[in-house]
Amino acid sequence: MTAPLRLGTRGSALAMAQSGHVAEALTAATGRPVELVEVVTAGDRSTAPVQRLGVGVFVSALRDALTAGEIDFAVHSYKDLPTAAAPGLHVAAVPPRQDPRDALVATNGRTLAELPPGARVGTGALRRIAQLHALGMQLEVSPIRGNVDTRLGRVLGPDADLDAVVLARAGLNRIGRADVITETLDPMLMLPAPAQGALAVECRADDQDVIELLALLDHAPSRAAITAERALLATLEAGCSAPVAAYAVLAEGEPTDEGDVNQEIYLRGAVISPDGTRDLRLSRTGTPADAAEIGKALAAELLELGADSILGQDAQAGPGTQQLGSTE
């Protein structure tokens, strides 16, 4: 019998659910059995804010296991990956992206507009904190850490101390908790993090057999959108604590003279000061083949408008050192 492929994953409920979906899809597409191998990362062992833990805190242990040959491939929340490529490793597949929008879970089924001034809202991302402040609703926004269930307990549990939390809708979907969402936030109000809702399936660059198997899971439209968003992030050279947002969608463009309809990629990007007082937002369109160049060009426009002054010291982290925090 063919030996099972070893899939490395973090041990949280969300990470296990994500990896389980990928394992099932790979087995269905190839017939190869897959076993999950839990790998504990530095981010799992710490309760400190993500921006204090350093770059790659949720992925470095998985990458070490890959390099050492302890696992055959790994599944990451794509937004946890530094933008620089890891030597000797290759992202062989980007499966179809889940809904990248943020979601509100509030007491009494309330929407964001129904929260009164002074309402206590928890989130783990400075990007969300900055955009909540930018709304001018006088919310009391608190940084929080923990897995999805821990965060939901801050609103729905017996010891709840918050009026609402903001989480990635994709994460709630993947663990079967979408029923607790009281509002899915419009990207016009809350632009997602680059690569939010997407997974990166990574293996060794010299393992051609595994690369060919994983390629069957790759979804070209999702990869193009992620490429544009992460090119923007990389060009901004934003540190892990920077409130940077980006969201790319693919749509049908204008018909050609031959009657064909080409696809276009529409990218929105934003850099927001943590207190919400400065909010730069721009958009750009192009073809999926030019996804990386679209992201770079939009970042350059944001920098021309003063994004670097908002990013401040985070811009000194250097290329390839970006991380916005865990999907959870």
Long-range contacts of 259-265 (CB under 8 A, 24+ apart): 262/287, 263/221, 263/287, 263/288, 264/288, 265/224, 265/225, 265/228, 265/290, 265/291, 265/294
pLDDT, position 319: 37
Query: Which residue numbers in the chain have pLDDT < 50?
Result: 43-55, 313-328
Phi/psi of residue 166, nearest 5 degrees: -115, 125
Q: Residue 256 corresponds to which amino acid? A: T
Nearest to 198 by CA among 305, 61, 76, 113: 76
Tell me how far apart the alpha carbons of residues 88 and 298 are, in angstroms, rounded to a whole number.
30
**CB distance 154 to 105 below 8 Å:** no
| Closest CA relative to residue 283, chosen from 300, 268, 305, 302 | 268
Tell me if 164 sits within 8 A of 119, measured CB to CB: yes
List, for residues 85-120, the tens digit of each pLDDT value. Answer: 899 999 999 999 999 999 999 999 999 999 999 999
| CATH 3.40.190.10 residue window(s) in the chain | 3-94+197-217, 100-182
Q: What is the third-level CATH fold of 223-313?
A: Double Stranded RNA Binding Domain (3.30.160)
What is the predicted pLDDT for the residue at 327?
43
pLDDT at res. 85:
87
Report the share of the chain in percent with pLDDT over 90: 74
Helix axes 291-304, 220-236, angle to 10 degrees: 30
The two most distant CA atoms of the chain are separated, in Å, by 63
119-134 pLDDT per residue, tens: 999 998 999 999 999 9
| Proportion of the chain in helix, strand, coil states, percent, rounded to 5 | 40, 25, 40
**In this structure, which amino acid lies at residue 101?**
R
pLDDT for 48 = 44
Q: What is the pLDDT of residue 257?
A: 59
CB 236 within 8 A of CB 315: yes
Torsion over CA of 204, 225, 34 and 214, rounded to 10 degrees? -50
List 72, 80, 163, 314, catalytic entry:
80
Residue 80's pLDDT is 87
CA distance 133 to 117: 12
80 catalytic per annotation: yes
| CATH classification code of 100-182 | 3.40.190.10
Residue 88, C-beta contacts closer than 8 angstroms, at least 6 positions apart:
67, 204, 205, 206
CA 320, 323, 328: angle at the middle one, nearest 5? 155
Confidence (pLDDT) at 145: 81
Q: What is the pLDDT of residue 260?
A: 60
In angstroms, the CA 173 to CA 170 distance is 5
| Local structure of residue 275 (DSSP, 8 states) | T
Question: Residue 237: what pLDDT?
Answer: 84
- CATH classification code of 3-94+197-217: 3.40.190.10
